[in-house]
Amino acid sequence: MSDAGIHGLEHIGIRVHDLDRSRRFYEGVLGFEFIAGPLGPEPVALLKHPAGLTLNLILNADAAEMANLLMDVPQKSPGYTHMALVVEDVTATMQHLEASGVTITEGPVEFPGTRAIFVRDPDGNTIEFDELIS
């Protein structure tokens, strides 16, 4: 079978340290809605965005302030480095994020067909916001 039958993205798992701190960011700033949690042996909280994206906040990061091992250390290990979210207007998104106290860590930058900015969540996980341009 050459087609694995994939037809969508179910969720993105993000390791975090503090559920309340993460909820303030993902709900209060980005508009996700809390669904349930913590659940399971490796406690997970479920959040869903009206755009259809679901996040699993995995509540087992050891410390509140740690380097992001995939982004912030000189040795580059394999692994997922960030998620990219499509937005209507990256300038408006940037203004909203800055007004919410979120630091823009990079951008705006342009890639073929995309204008982007980057931020970090409270645990240092990178989030890219992409405006699709012609």
pLDDT score at 78: 82
Give the right CATH number for 81-134 from 3.40.50.620, 3.40.50.2300, 3.10.180.10, 3.40.50.360. Answer: 3.10.180.10
**pLDDT tens track for 78-112:** 888 899 999 999 999 999 999 999 999 999 999 99
Q: Which segments of the chain belong to CATH 3.10.180.10?
A: 1-66, 81-134
Of all helices (H) and strands (E), which one includes residue 90? helix 90-99
Measured CA to CA, the distance from residue 25 to residue 9 in angstroms comes to 22
pLDDT score at 49: 97
Which CATH architecture is the domain 1-66 placed in? Roll (3.10)
Whether the pLDDT of residue 63 is over 80: the answer is: no
Whether the pLDDT of residue 2 is over 70: the answer is: no
Q: What is the mean pLDDT of residues 15-32?
A: 96
Measured CA to CA, the distance from residue 42 to residue 31 in angstroms comes to 25
What is the pTM for the complete model shown? 0.91
Q: Is the dihedral of CA 110, 123, 81, 36 positive or negative?
A: negative
Whether the pLDDT of residue 134 is over 90: the answer is: no
Whether the pLDDT of residue 58 is over 70: the answer is: yes
pLDDT score at 44: 97
Q: Over the chain, what is the mean pLDDT?
A: 92
Residue among 33, 42, 128, 131 flagged as catalytic: 128
128 is catalytic: yes
